[in-house]
Amino acid sequence: MLLYEELARARMREAEEQARHRRLVCRLVAGRRWARLARYASVRAERASARL
């Protein structure tokens, strides 16, 4: 029985590590997306102010 419990714990630890990795990747992707949107907004704001 202990072997099965240890295997179950190992699978749980592995699943938690994968979930942690996925969250990190999602945060990095979101950060890049927001940075790209900020650059786009900045360029548009500069163009709009240049037209005034």
Question: Does residue 7 carry a pLDDT above 90?
Answer: yes
Sign of the Cα pseudo-torsion (33, 38, 43, 44, in order)? positive
pLDDT number for residue 38: 98
Instruction: List, in sequence order, the alpha helices (H) in the chain.
Output: 2-51
**Rounded Cα gap, residues 5 and 9, in angstroms:** 6
pLDDT number for residue 52: 82
pLDDT number for residue 20: 98
Local structure of residue 1 (DSSP, 8 states): -
Question: Does residue 1 carry a pLDDT above 90?
Answer: no
The two three-digit tokens of residue 48, written as one number: 């709009």
pLDDT in tens, 19-51: 999 999 999 999 999 999 999 999 999 999 999
Query: Comparing 19 with 52, which gets the higher pLDDT?
Result: 19
